[in-house]
Amino acid sequence: MIARRRQVALALTALLAAAAACQAHERQPDRVGRPAPTGARSFTLVASGDVLPHTSIIDRARFDAGGKGYDFRPMLAGIEPVVSRADLALCHMETVYGTEGDYTGYPDFKSPPEVAEGLAATGYDACSTASNHSLDDGAPGIRRTLDALDAFGVAHAGTARTEEEARTVTMLRTGSATVAHLAYTFDTNGNALPADQPWAVNLIDENRMLADARAARKAGADVVVLSVHWGTEWQDEPDARQQTLAQRLTASRTDGRPDVDLIVGTHAHVPQAYEKVNGTWVIYGMGDQIAGEMFDHQGVRDPRGNQSTLGRFTFTSPTRPGDRWEVTKAEFVPQLFDVDAGRLLDLNQALTQGADVEGVRDRIREVVLSRGAAKDGLVMGE
């Protein structure tokens, strides 16, 4: 069993059975994250970008396993100290898993299920799984992916094997806080949802997203986190749809309290800005955390496709019941996937070890801060 500083996921669906029967959108909580000190008045949450195993990544994992199976743990080891120290850690599993050696990269991804083991060993508690690649292998791909994540104790949000699961909110506990994790994607690359499983992938719909957030709050969520697969690929700036949706989601309130407490974005392949919108932090795009050599739409190699950030937020409990948990510290950690070495680098740590990556780190910082996040307190974390 993998040693981790969190509890194995436990089902809590019975707690909301009656509520779900009353309102279709009131979905049930089902997961418990790693434990924090009981009664803790604050917790740290980290979120990171797309895990996108191209063929070269699959080959590297096989090499790291000595030719027998696949081992993704060495790739992620460079960020493990940051992830494992957080009270709650969220990743984005962009691809679905294959089976019995049937593994492929772009354009229709089927990744080895050992990816889930690597994510668990790194310290991730939950992954968003709604992406434009969620239906690359139809419903069987979703089932294999969620089965593997379950096997290694990693919770998930955004795709489902059953209608009941689709109506189940992923709830993660840390100390005295309960965090709801919801996930949605803009599209599935033109792959139609299975006719008998229209609930298999959560698609972006403002009204549905807000209804889910309100239902999660009613179910007991202190903090509601939305993972959103959106944006324009290879564009540093958030596009108009991202900005409009972020404005509307963060403006929504119930009884004076925001319905959404944090938005973390994926899909664009490149790091995008962090911004405080209507008092709520939005990461428009974290970039690809794990990916092979990346080429833009013109077929030109673009090193930005291997640059990313990890967001880290400290939430502190309110002094009055019913008020929101406030972000009292907001940080980003710049990352680079070294495609030659097959290793993910924490750029700040790499610099202390003499790596010539200062220019990459500074470019990421410039993009992250390009919409004025520094004035709202965002800092580069160690």
CATH number of the domain where residue 22 is located: 3.60.21.10
Cβ–Cβ under 8 Å, residues 239 and 275: no
| CA–CA separation, 230 and 185 (whole Å) | 6
Q: Looking at the domain assignment, is residue 6 inside a domain?
A: no
| CA–CA separation, 112 and 110 (whole Å) | 7
What is the predicted pLDDT for the residue at 382?
Answer: 85
Q: Looking at the domain assignment, is residue 156 inside a domain?
A: yes
Q: What is the largest CA-CA distance in the chain?
A: 59
Q: Which residues pair with 168 in a beta bridge?
A: 28
Q: Which residues pair with 180 in a beta bridge?
A: 171, 224
What is the predicted pLDDT for the residue at 322?
Answer: 87
DSSP structural state of residue 353 = T
Q: Amino acid identity, residue 11?
A: A
* Structural domains of the chain, count: 1
Q: What is the pLDDT of residues 254-295, one digit of tens each?
A: 999 999 999 999 999 999 999 999 999 999 999 999 999 999
Q: Looking at the domain assignment, is residue 234 inside a domain?
A: yes
Single pTM value for the model: 0.92
Q: Which residues pair with 327 in a beta bridge?
A: 315
Which range marks the domain in which residue 99 is found? Answer: 13-380
- Closest of 50, 47, 46, 58 to residue 307, by C-alpha: 50
What is the predicted pLDDT for the residue at 30?
Answer: 45
Q: Average of pLDDT values for 204-226?
A: 98
Q: Looking at the domain assignment, is residue 39 inside a domain?
A: yes
What confidence category does residue 10 fall into, taking pLDDT thresholds of 50, 70 and 90?
very low
What is the predicted pLDDT for the residue at 359?
Answer: 97
- Is the pLDDT assigned to residue 234 strictly greater than 50? yes
- Is the pLDDT assigned to residue 316 strictly greater than 70? yes
Cβ–Cβ under 8 Å, residues 261 and 223: yes
Cβ–Cβ under 8 Å, residues 290 and 30: no
Q: Looking at the domain assignment, is residue 93 inside a domain?
A: yes
Mean pLDDT of the chain: 91
Q: Looking at the domain assignment, is residue 220 inside a domain?
A: yes
Peptide bond into 107 cis (omega under 30): yes
What is the predicted pLDDT for the residue at 17?
Answer: 31
Q: Average of pLDDT values for 167-195?
A: 96
| CA–CA separation, 293 and 57 (whole Å) | 9
Q: 230 CB contacts (<8 Å, ≥6 apart)?
A: 185, 186, 204, 241, 242, 245, 265, 266, 267
Q: Looking at the domain assignment, is residue 190 inside a domain?
A: yes
Q: Looking at the domain assignment, is residue 161 inside a domain?
A: yes
